Amino acid sequence: MSVRQVHTHAKSNHCWTFWRKRHLSAKRTVYYVEANSKRYLPESGDNVIGVIIGSFGDFYRVSLNDFSVPVVLNQFSFPNASKKNRPRLEVGDLIYARVESVNPNVDAEISCVDPTTGKAEGYGKLEGGMVFKVKLAYARNLLFDPNAHILTELVTKCKFEIAIGVNGKIWLKTDDILSTIACGRCIEKSQQWSDADIKANVEDAFAAMKKSKDEGDN
């Protein structure tokens, strides 16, 4: 299930929104064994960020990673989509989607519909913002951990929206481009930071951003 959640920091008016995937089962627990892989291979149920690279018939071709086999997105794989009412996506558009099916004999297929609700639940075209790349294991960690230290620290600095794909791509959007860049760079660099260093490093990054902005205004 893909869940859209809004978190409000107790000491400020800043809030952040992100989408994450949960496995809900009363009978079993889902475990992931992380390897330091550099190549993403689609698995059914994965949340991914892709870019439209073309279309054919009723399908879009979507790239999930450079130099990897594209996946396909049916133009009707959106909530309430019909021939008269369906998104018109262009080459270069970003989307947040769920891997619908994986078959070794055909292209993997993605969808922008949550199977449990029939609604978007955060899936769909990503407007504005920027995309940053992280290691696959780190992306999965951020997606599954709503209390990830870097995210909880960034929320004290600015309001932002973030979509995390297990294919190692993170889309992020704030109210201004400098804050978006600062947040994205902090997330990228946090892969090498210890938890003890995150707060100070985020403080430094936003102080540098503010200084740059002030100098640009003068």
Asked if residue 154 lies in contact with residue 185, where contact means CB atoms within 8 angstroms, the answer is no
Average pLDDT over residues 65-80: 91
Asked if residue 48 lies in contact with residue 63, where contact means CB atoms within 8 angstroms, the answer is no
* 3-state SS class at 120: coil
Average pLDDT over residues 73-96: 90
Domains within the chain, CATH numbers bracketed: 2-217 (2.40.50.140)
Query: Residue 53 above 90 pLDDT?
Result: yes
pLDDT in tens, 96-128: 999 999 998 899 999 999 999 989 989 999 999
Nearest to 110 by CA among 39, 40, 31: 40
Residue type, 36: N
pLDDT of residue 23: 35
First to last CA, the chain: 48
Average pLDDT over residues 60-73: 94
Asked if residue 16 lies in contact with residue 147, where contact means CB atoms within 8 angstroms, the answer is no
Nearest to 111 by CA among 160, 76, 143, 144: 76
Question: Hey, how many other C-beta atoms are within 10 angstroms of the C-beta on 51?
Answer: 19
Nearest to 159 by CA among 50, 15, 38: 15
Measured CA to CA, the distance from residue 126 to residue 119 in angstroms comes to: 16
Band (36; pLDDT cuts 50, 70, 90): low
pTM for the full predicted model: 0.82
Average pLDDT over residues 35-62: 90
